[in-house]
Amino acid sequence: MSDLSWLPRQNGSKNHFLWGEEHFSTKAPSIIYEKKPVMDPNGDPVDDLFSAWITLNNPKQYNSYTTEMVKGVIAGFQRAAADSSVVAAVFTGVGDKAFCTGGNTVEYAEYYSKRPNEYGIYMDLFNAMVDAILTCKKPTICRVNGMRVAGGQEIGMATDLTVASDLAIFGQAGARHGSAPDGGSTDFLPWMLPCEMAMWNSVSCEMWSAYKMSRLGLITKCLMVIKDGGNWVCNPLVETEKYGYIRISQLVYRS
């Protein structure tokens, strides 16, 4: 190789974040952005390595996203991608009731209704949010408690992996209310599910369990979160024998 030792070099580091922290807050509705240390197999933090946690913070409205929250998700994934100390991005929601239930219907009704041009501009932001997740240069993990429904399902499917509580449910809502799941589900579902299952999931608005979605391959892992007498037990509201979880569930889903 050529000797380039004569070439002047700049030291230090560059700031590649497109935004500061103006799109993050702990006051709902908001996006919380945190860096958490990566742990080694012994549970000790690894020096200078972190996971970025991008958290939907609107639990009173089942973590539905407002316009400002959409901006926060975009900023969060761009920040995670541009931070050399971050090795993975975790996308989750506050509380145990919902990861996300889609767009904020109060904002839709009170502001975007009868303003089609404004709604079109909002959808440009939504598409940019999906793109920010898809193009993040770090592995992206959707951590699901409760509902991942409608637009929440769409942005969740944009991540690389999904790890869900076995109390979680998944599905669409638009077709039941005169809308269409074209913010991502019409793209992602046929990739991840058999074609007719994808179409039925889109139009029926049935809620499917984490066990069913794990069996079908839509999510990576379904984890038990209920303990009975010190033992992990499956969600009692799901007929897990349908999905082959009897007897082997303790071995597979505790890891």
User: Tell me: the pLDDT tens digits for 159-178?
Assistant: 999 999 999 999 999 878 77
Give the burial string for 222-255 (b: 16+ CB within 10 Å, else e). bbbbeeeeeeeebbeebebeebebeeebeeebee
pLDDT band at 209 (very low <50, low <70, confident <90, very high): very high
Q: Which domains does the chain have, with CATH numbers?
A: 30-225 (3.90.226.10)
pLDDT band at 250 (very low <50, low <70, confident <90, very high): very low
Closest C-alpha to 211, from 191, 230, 192, 237: 237
What is the rounded average pLDDT of the residues 191-213? 93
pLDDT band at 254 (very low <50, low <70, confident <90, very high): very low
pTM value > 0.85: yes
Residue ranges in the chain assigned as alpha helix (H):
67-82, 105-107, 116-134, 151-157, 185-192, 195-204, 210-216, 249-252
Give the burial string for 103-141 (b: 16+ CB within 10 Å, else e). bbeebbeeebeeeeeebeebeeebeebbebbeebebebb
- Using the predicted structure, report yes or no on whether residue 235 has a pLDDT greater than 90: no
pLDDT band at 242 (very low <50, low <70, confident <90, very high): low
pLDDT band at 249 (very low <50, low <70, confident <90, very high): very low
